[in-house]
Amino acid sequence: MEPEELTELALGAAVAAGAGYADARWVRQETESLTVTDDRVDDLEAEDSRGLGVRVLVDGHWGFAASAVLDPDRVRGLGRRAVEIARAAASLPGEPARLAPVEPAVASWSTPVGRDPFAVPLAERVELLLAACEAQRAVAGLTHARATVDLWRRRTLFWSSEGARLDQTVTQAGAGIEAVAVGDGDLQQRSWPNSFRGQFLAGGWEVVEAADLVGNAPRVAGEAVALLHAPELPERVTTVILDGQQLSLQVHESVGHPLELDRIFGTEAAYAGTSFVRPSDRGRLRYGSPAMSVTSDATTPGGLGTFGFDDEGVPAQRAPLVAGGTLEGFLTSRETATALGATSSGAMRADGWGNPPLIRMTNVNLEPGEGSLDELVADTADGLLLSVNRSWSIDDRRVNFQFGVEAAWEIRAGRLGRLYKNATYDGRTTEFWGSLDAVCGPEAWVVWGIPNCGKGQPFQNGRVSHGAAPGRFRDVHVGVRGA
C-alpha cells in the first residue's frame, strides 16, 4: 500500500476504536553518516527507516502506538492499540488533556535544497574527508585527524482526525573536522566549524561545502597542538566573550529548555527535569540584561528547527521568548497552550515515527546586536575569549550550569593573547544573562545546529538550532573551585 493509504488506514482504525482525537504520522527517515579517521574510512552508516505512529486522545487521556511493520492488519492494529493504551491511562484521575484549536491544513512543504546531498557520489564524499584529514595531518605534532559528514532526510505524512493532511520533507546536512593532539598524559581537541561532528543546517551538499573543511584544517590542527602545550586556565572571576558556537549551547541549555512549557508544568520532572520559570513569570521575570532578546523562529532559513508545520500540524511561527531581558513567551503545544488561554507556538516535534511529539525547541535565536568580534575584543580591557563547546551540564531546574570549552584566549587591552587549555566557566542562569552587555551584529550572527538534544522517555533525540553571534558577559567565574 502507498504511505497515504496506510496513514489513512491507521487514522480510521483509531477513530473507529473510539478516539476522540487522533493523528497518524508515516515517516521515512534516511540517514548517511561517514567518518574518516586519519587515512581510512572508519565508519559509514546508511540507514533507511520507515514506520507509522498513531496518537489518540480518549476521554482526555493520551495513547500512542507505533511500528516499523507496515502491513495493513498491523497498521489497523496500531489504531486500536493506541486507544487501548489511552483507556488504561484512566487508572489515575486527573485533569483531562484538551487541545487548543488549530486550522487543519492541507499542504506540502520541503526544505530548499541546492544539491541533493544523497545524490553526491560516495567517492566524492570520501575524497573530501580524506583530504580534510590529510591537511590536518600535515601539521607536526598532531596525533589523529577525523572528518565527518552526516546527511538526513525525513519525509513525514501527518493526517489528523480534524482533517489535516500534510506532506513534508526536511533535508539536513552537517560536516566537521576534529584534530586531536595527545602527549604527556594529556589529550586536546580542536574542532571546526563546531564540536561533536561539526556544523549542521537544513539544506543540501552546499552546507558541507560551506564548512570548508580542507581550508580550515591546518589552522585547526595547529590549535590542537598548541593547546597541548598551553597552560591550564587559572580560576578567577573575569569578563568572558563566548564565541557563537559556545553561546548557541548556552542559549540552548539556559534559555531554550527552561522555556519548554511541559517542563514548566512538570511532565518531564522525573527524567530531564523541570524549570525555575513559572507560567506567571511571563512579562515580569527579568531573565537577562537589556542586551538579551531571544526569539523562537521555526522559519529561520537553514535551521534544524525549520519546518512548515510541527508534528501536531501547527504552522511554523516566529515569536519572542525574551525581549530586552524580560520574559515574553514559552515553547508550547496544543495541550499546554490551553493552560495559558493561548494557541500553540508550534513546537511539538517527534523523533521519527516511533515516538510521540514532545515540546522541543525550534530555532531559538539570540538576536544580534552590533559590531564585529574584532571590535568586541578591542573594546574589552581584560578578559577571555572562550571558543567551541567541550562539555555542558546544568541542574534539573536549569539554574546552575557549568560549561567547558576547547580553547580560551586571554584578552589584554583589547587584544588576544595567550592560549589556555581546559577552560570552564559556571554560573546561575538569570545572574549570568543579567551580565550580558554586548552581542555582536548580524555580520557575526550564524545559525548553529545542535543535532543531539535529548529529552523524553522513551529517549528522543531532537535536532534544533540557535542563531547567535559572539556575546560578552561580565564577572563570570572561570575554572573549577577546589580543583
Partner 1 sequence: MSRLGERLLGVAEAAIGAEGADDAEALVIREAGGLTRFASSRIHQSTWREDVAVRLRLVLDGNRVGTATVHDLQPAAVASAARRAAEVARTMPPDPGYPGMPGPADYAVTERWDEATAATDPATRAGLVAGAVRRLPAGVTAAGACETRELEVAVANLRGVRALGASTAASFSILADAGSGTGWAEGAEPCLADLDVAALGERAARKAVDAREPRELSPGAYPVVLEPAAVATLVQFLGWLGFGAKAYDEGRSFLVGRLGQRVCSPLVTIVDDALAADTIGVGFDFEGVPKRRVTLIEEGVAASLVYDYRAARRHGVEPTGHGLPAPSAEGAYPMHLAMLPGDTPQQELVAGMERGLLVTRFHYTNLVNLMETTITGMTRDGTFWVEDGQVRGAVRNLRFTQSILGALSAVRAVGAHTELASEDGYGAARAPALAIDRFNFSSATTF
Closest approach of partner 1 to the CB of residue 422, in Å: 6
Closest approach of partner 1 to the CB of residue 124, in Å: 10
Q: Which is nearer to partner 1, 185 or 381 (CB)?
A: 185
Q: Which is nearer to partner 1, 138 or 187 (CB)?
A: 187
For 184: left if phi > 0, alpha if psi spans -120 to 50, otherwise beta; the answer is left
* Among 4, 5, 16, 40, contact with partner 1 (rule: CB under 8 A): 40
Closest approach of partner 1 to the CB of residue 82, in Å: 8
Q: 358 near 372, Cβ under 8 Å? A: no
Cα(421)–Cα(427) distance, integer angstroms: 20
* Among 4, 5, 48, 443, contact with partner 1 (rule: CB under 8 A): 48
With contacts defined by CB under 8 A, how many residues of the chain interact with partner 1?
87
* Neighbour count for residue 5 (Cβ, 10 Å): 12
Closest approach of partner 1 to the CB of residue 293, in Å: 25
* Among 18, 50, 226, 370, contact with partner 1 (rule: CB under 8 A): 50
Q: 450 near 304, Cβ under 8 Å? A: yes
* Neighbour count for residue 374 (Cβ, 10 Å): 12
C-alpha cell at 222: 595547529
C-alpha cell at 450: 545542535
Closest approach of partner 1 to the CB of residue 296, in Å: 23
Closest approach of partner 1 to the CB of residue 247, in Å: 18
How would DSSP label each residue in 241-268? Answer: EE-HHHHHHHHIIIIIGGGBHHHHTTTT
* Among 160, 161, 355, 380, contact with partner 1 (rule: CB under 8 A): 355
Cα(40)–Cα(209) distance, integer angstroms: 21
Amino acid at 3: P
Report how far apart, in Å, the C-alpha atoms of 111 and of each of 116, 203, 231, 372, 453 are: 11, 6, 45, 30, 21
Q: Which is nearer to partner 1, 316 or 350 (CB)?
A: 350
Which of the residues 240 through 269 are near partner 1 (CB under 8 A)? 265-269
| Beta-bridge partners for 13 | none
Cell 566549524 found at:
193
Amino acid at 21: Y
150 binds partner 1 (CB under 8 A): no
Q: How far is CA 150 from the centre of its chain?
A: 15
C-alpha cell at 442: 548580524
How would DSSP label each residue in 269-293? Answer: TTTT---S--GGGTTT-B-S-TT--
φ, ψ of residue 152 to 5 degrees: the values are: -135, 140
Largest CA distance in the chain: 72
Query: Residue 222, CB half-sphere, CA atoms under 13 Å: how many?
Result: 6
140 binds partner 1 (CB under 8 A): no
Q: Which is nearer to partner 1, 16 or 88 (CB)?
A: 88
C-alpha cell at 406: 576547547
Q: Pick the piece of the chain touching partner 1 (CB under 8 A) from 4-12, 86-94, 279-287, 376-384.
A: 86-94
Which of the residues 463 through 482 are near partner 1 (CB under 8 A)? 477, 480-482
85 binds partner 1 (CB under 8 A): yes
Q: Which is nearer to partner 1, 8 or 351 (CB)?
A: 351
Which of the residues 373 through 412 are near partner 1 (CB under 8 A)? 391-397, 399-400, 402, 404
Q: Which is nearer to partner 1, 143 or 317 (CB)?
A: 143
Q: 427 near 477, Cβ under 8 Å? A: yes
237 binds partner 1 (CB under 8 A): no
Cα(258)–Cα(280) distance, integer angstroms: 14
Cell 566537521 found at:
176
Pairing of strands 106-110, 165-183: parallel
Q: Which is nearer to partner 1, 94 or 341 (CB)?
A: 94
Q: Which is nearer to partner 1, 267 or 345 (CB)?
A: 267
* Among 6, 8, 67, 128, contact with partner 1 (rule: CB under 8 A): 67
Residue 149: Cβ-neighbour burial (10 angstroms; 0-12, 13-18, 19+): buried
Which of the residues 8 through 27 are near partner 1 (CB under 8 A)? none
Which of the residues 435 through 454 are near partner 1 (CB under 8 A)? none
Cα(115)–Cα(125) distance, integer angstroms: 13
* Among 45, 103, 116, 443, contact with partner 1 (rule: CB under 8 A): 45
Q: Which is nearer to partner 1, 153 or 444 (CB)?
A: 153
Cell 488561554 found at:
341
Q: Which is nearer to partner 1, 350 or 366 (CB)?
A: 350
Which of the residues 276 through 335 are near partner 1 (CB under 8 A)? 276
* Among 14, 63, 252, 371, contact with partner 1 (rule: CB under 8 A): 63
Closest approach of partner 1 to the CB of residue 358, in Å: 9
* Among 89, 107, 131, 285, contact with partner 1 (rule: CB under 8 A): 89
Which of the residues 157 through 186 are near partner 1 (CB under 8 A)? 180, 182, 185-186
74 binds partner 1 (CB under 8 A): yes
187 binds partner 1 (CB under 8 A): yes
Closest approach of partner 1 to the CB of residue 178, in Å: 11
Closest approach of partner 1 to the CB of residue 249, in Å: 11
- The length of the chain is 483
The contact mask relative to partner 1 for 359-378 (x = CB under 8 A, - = no) is: --------------------
